[in-house]
Structure 1
């Protein structure tokens, strides 16, 4: 595990009550749609866009301008997808099609235009009829995690639609994506548990959680939630955010690596928290809002602010093969213009849904709005790590005091 050189303590002051006991969905039926978007969310988006309300109008404009959101998109499925090794390196085809399915599904829910529903269904059906394997280097675990949680979200939006082969799609998710991500959380590709940085665990957690919900698999859902709280790897919350400072900020361990991967990790942890929330489990508020403190830290740092960093050492390699240690002693340098479409979801949860004070999240969400999605942040794989469009999908009105202090309840739909 991480060895922390020195300690710091302190808790953030919040402005609204939070649950003293976490809501649990144990034993309850899963709510559908219930990944990143609930029926209430989808209805809100449609109503706000129809009314031309800000900032939804600007967020929707980014969606419909994206090439992936067009009903003319045609899927290019493959039986085997390779990332990091193998031939051909065709994982870009997969992530482009995944984002096209999601964006067309979202566009259909907002406008009711059936051409977009038909396109989303055609993409999902094409891949479930063809894909049988993810392969390559260790990067195959990233492919399973990233594209697994995203594909599950696209499918959840089309659940129950005429012509969507849901059972076949669920089988693909259980057979191709879930085993890799679940195994990574258990065995970390045969390496020491700290060999892989925070975002590796978080991609796997996001996939396991999303597939669990999509496939009504309580075991998978519980694995992801348990790992978030108590896992041994760097993606578990107390390892990802190892030190809480007296000013209410909390160190994001991957800030000692680089800005891009730290942003990726924050976005993925937010994704895990949001999907769990929509099933009645409050990971956002876990351990006295630890994620809020870590996200505030990364937001301040990414905008060029000064943040503390307590040195830590992680063990690398694999037993009997190679081993070594690496120490991160300070937060890496940043480019204040670097961004990912991650902030609207997190800022809206804490400031609107919960009514808490989060000035750095508020600033960076405003700075990066309106958020785009896959295809808007560069042509390489990093530009497709998040589904995006948070300004459109997660902007909400401020909650009432009663809503801000209530525990989450499973969504209906």
Structure 2
């Protein structure tokens, strides 16, 4: 598979919708109109965005040539620079799209340009594959928002795309194919899902139908734990599906929700309904996680893989908040009219959702782009 070169998109019917990663033009028009009307809950979501220091015009990027995630005993970890800059770029891009103030656009592309001019490698321990996934999808999503900004020179956008294809995509692909040389079920679902998110976002950004299809195919038929039948591996009556990381801890279990939501939303915006795949299998997993983390009991079947056996569901991190529920609530309940009582409770409990910087300074608070109340509320 070639990494660079001509797009495989050759016919208008096969062309990508732009912008069409996490958000579309229709989404931005809705956000802008609702803020102009001072409507709720959008205004509460907007307020939390503009109060976050990452959305400030004083933000200064800290790009590096080699990003390190995971203590390898030689190089200091510096990946916090990227997860903070990615969060800032997203927050600033939203402020531009909603306010129309080009100062926010200029700051956003300045961040993207700093990284595309400097970053050449991602290294560290196996954790480097978390970086390639999490920050790959976030950066690609921001660039997709900014692609129509007239103040971003075409050559700079092209340089950014080249970085995504040379630095991030090869790692995404390699991890999903080789899994760092480990057994196929060794890595938890969120490792696969992060790299799938990056892959699908890069496919959209660079008009690479082959990369996009590779990600969607893995969701449906992949061998690792990120494939949907492995993420939601045990179905129960009543619309519940036990998730792969339920016996690990609830922080990582809800991270899987964050990454699943981003993946399905990006596909949805390209007219592929993975939310509804296999009779709403994603919803069954989301409802399972939401129910347990809202304090109710759920059925549990002992889970085993090559490394662990987990006989009980983990209560570690139970009830911790991540800004992940609004996307699912608005898709399944508001748009499709399905019943999801626990998801509905979770969405209400976390509203308004913030973004990176609102959930602590550590990497876990930046694993999702957030601001779902502002960006995903439909009505």
Is the pair's TM-score, using the shorter chain for normalization, greater than 0.5? Answer: yes
**Could you tell me which residue of structure 1 aligns to residue 141 of structure 2?**
153
Q: Secondary structure at the match of 1:251?
A: strand
Query: C-alpha deviations, 1:195-215, integer Å up to 9, x for none?
Result: 001101100100000001001
1:127 aligns with 2:115: yes
Distance 1:261 1:109 in 2: 31
**Could you tell me which residue of structure 1 aligns to residue 239 of structure 2?**
248
User: 1:208-223 alignment to 2 at 5 Å?
Assistant: 208-223=199-214
Q: Secondary structure at the match of 1:134?
A: strand
**Could you tell me which residue of structure 1 aligns to residue 20 of structure 2?**
34
Q: Secondary structure at the match of 1:256?
A: coil
- The counterpart of 1:63, out of the listed 49, 58, 65, is 49
Distance 2:168 2:180 in 1: 15
TM-score (norm 2): 0.94
**Could you tell me which residue of structure 2 aligns to residue 373 of structure 1?**
355
* Contact 2:240–2:284 (8 Å) recurs in 1: yes
User: 1:93-104 alignment to 2 at 5 Å?
Assistant: 93-104=81-92
**Could you tell me which residue of structure 1 aligns to residue 3 of structure 2?**
none
Cα distance change, pair 292–216 in 1 and its aligned pair in 2 (3 A): same
1:362 aligns with 2:338: no
Residue 337 of structure 1, CA deviation: 4.0
**Could you tell me which residue of structure 1 aligns to residue 33 of structure 2?**
47
* Higher relative contact order (Cα pairs below 8 Å, separated by 6+ residues): 1
TM-score (norm 1): 0.86
How many residues are aligned here?
364
Query: C-alpha deviations, 1:222-264, integer Å up to 9, x for none?
Result: 1110010111111111111111111211111211110000000
**Could you tell me which residue of structure 2 aligns to residue 234 of structure 1?**
225
- Uncovered stretches (5+) of structure 1, i.e. residues with no partner: 1-24, 317-325, 398-413
**Could you tell me which residue of structure 1 aligns to residue 194 of structure 2?**
203
Residue 160 of structure 1, CA deviation: 2.5
Cα distance change, pair 26–276 in 1 and its aligned pair in 2 (3 A): farther
User: 1:157-168 alignment to 2 at 5 Å?
Assistant: 157-161=145-149, 162-164=151-153, 165-168=156-159
* Contact 2:129–2:195 (8 Å) recurs in 1: yes
User: 1:6-405 alignment to 2 at 5 Å?
Assistant: 28-84=14-70, 85=72, 86-161=74-149, 162-164=151-153, 165-316=156-307, 326-397=308-379
Query: C-alpha deviations, 1:66-122, integer Å up to 9, x for none?
Result: 000011111111111000035231100011111111110110000011111110011
* Contact 1:339–1:368 (8 Å) recurs in 2: yes
Give every structure 1 segment of 4 or more consecutive aligned residues whose post-TM-superposition deviation is greater than 3 Å.
334-337
RMSD (Å) for aligned C-alpha atoms: 1.3
- Uncovered stretches (5+) of structure 2, i.e. residues with no partner: 1-10
When structure 1 is superposed on structure 2, of 352-361 and 375-384 the one drifting more is 352-361
Query: C-alpha deviations, 1:153-195, integer Å up to 9, x for none?
Result: 1111110322341100000000001110111110100000100
Cα distance change, pair 383–267 in 1 and its aligned pair in 2 (3 A): same
